[in-house]
Structure 1
Amino acid sequence: MVSTGGSLPGGYSVAQERVIAASLELFGAHGVSATSLQMIADAIGVTKAAVYHQFKSKDEVVIAVVAGELAALVPAVEAAEAEPDRQAARDILLARIVNRMVTRRRLTRVLQYDPVVVRLLDEHPPFVRFMDRLHRVLLGAGTDPAARVNAAVMSAALSASLIHPLVTDVDDATLGRHILTVARRILVPAEN
């Protein structure tokens, strides 16, 4: 079961969890758009009808996958929201985001740039609410263009740097430490 603090979908059956796990691997390898329900069914050794029995559509599978990934950040968002110091709150969340992205490099690219995922993040109310919370921690009251541009640049830089050929051989701990340093530098001007 995915624990989300009630803000994201969760509570999947064992059969649904198998579909989600296979989808995670396939999405990471091929992207969401290039992964079919038949590919998912083949990966877990069932028929496509069996996958449809667990999820009514591919969008529902994608929502489940994204919900699981975002749910992993819920404790960090909650801890950051409870932190009275804005800088400390942002650091708590940023460190967790960077760690999650670094340890799941291949999937990060898919979740950031796949058009299906982008559309679902924009259209699915629980995702919109969660992303609003995350952005409030990162930006504070900074809704001005400079703060939003800094956050967008930081997000894009994070994603792109994870899959860049120059860092494919860099271990997760080293990469994470350097990316976190750069991300902090990018976000700081948003306060000035």
Structure 2
Amino acid sequence: MKLIADHGVGGTSLQMIADAVGVTKAAVYHQFKTKEQIVIALTERELGGLEEALEAAEAEDHPPRARELLLDRVIDLTVERRGVASTLQFDPVVVRLLGEQEPFLQFIQRLYRVLVGDAGDDSRVLAAMMSGAIANGVVHPLVGDIDDETLRCQLRRITRRLIEAADIGVTARTEFC
């Protein structure tokens, strides 16, 4: 994942992966026929860190509490894995591959159903904005020197304000477009 974060999917070769892992290119090819399969496997591993939190949030009877539980875990994982967050969100090959994977799409729908509610256009745009804001908020050069705990606190506070503002807008049914 570090190679892909550093070089992008397009700039990372199977030979580079083999060298980093300490095996032959043939050994990598034996496990994964394409670089895309490696990307999907790495993504599944990374997102696996959210599965338990998502299940707990889905089992929660109180939607605001479910949102808090899941949002805290999303932010914690994103801060812990700063470089990975950027790669998963912004590498065009990763974005395309994940957009073609039905299990990933279902996982993301479940995740954002807990975080922002229904699947209407406003909620989907809010989900996309939150996702990008959190991912960009951990890798942007302006925050590179902020320690993890401070960054977590700031992301939690600002993301909650974004959600509250969206909730107020939905309640008021204000149309700006």
How far, CA to CA, are the matches of 1:149 and 1:90 in structure 2?
17
How far, CA to CA, are the matches of 1:72 and 1:162 in structure 2?
17
1:29 deviates by 2.0
Tell me, yes or no, if the aligned pair for 2:2 and 2:83 is still in contact at 8 Å.
no
Tell me, yes or no, if the aligned pair for 1:139 and 1:190 is still in contact at 8 Å.
no
How far, CA to CA, are the matches of 2:152 and 2:11 in structure 1?
29
1:147 deviates by 2.3
Select 2:162's aligned residue among 164, 168, 186: 186
| Per-residue deviation, residues 47-102 of structure 1 (Å, max 9, x unmatched) | 21111011111111011100001111001100110111111111111110001001
User: What is residue 111 of structure 1 aligned with on the other side?
Assistant: 88
Residue 122 of structure 2 aligns with an amino acid whose one-letter code is: A
The aligned runs of 1:54-69 (5 Å cut-off) are: 54-69=31-46
- Structure 1 residue runs of 5 or longer lacking an equivalent are 1-23
1:28 deviates by 2.2
- Cα RMSD for the two superposed structures: 1.3
Query: What is the TM-score when the length of structure 1 is the normalising length?
Result: 0.83
User: What is residue 52 of structure 2 aligned with on the other side?
Assistant: 75
- Structure 2 residue runs of 5 or longer lacking an equivalent are 172-177
Query: What is the TM-score when the length of structure 2 is the normalising length?
Result: 0.89
Aligned length: 168
Any runs of at least 4 consecutive aligned residues in structure 1 with deviations exceeding 3 A, and if so which?
A: none
Matched, 1:149 2:157: no
How far, CA to CA, are the matches of 2:162 and 2:112 in structure 1?
15
Percent of aligned positions that are identical: 51
User: What is residue 30 of structure 1 aligned with on the other side?
Assistant: 7
Matched, 1:162 2:138: yes
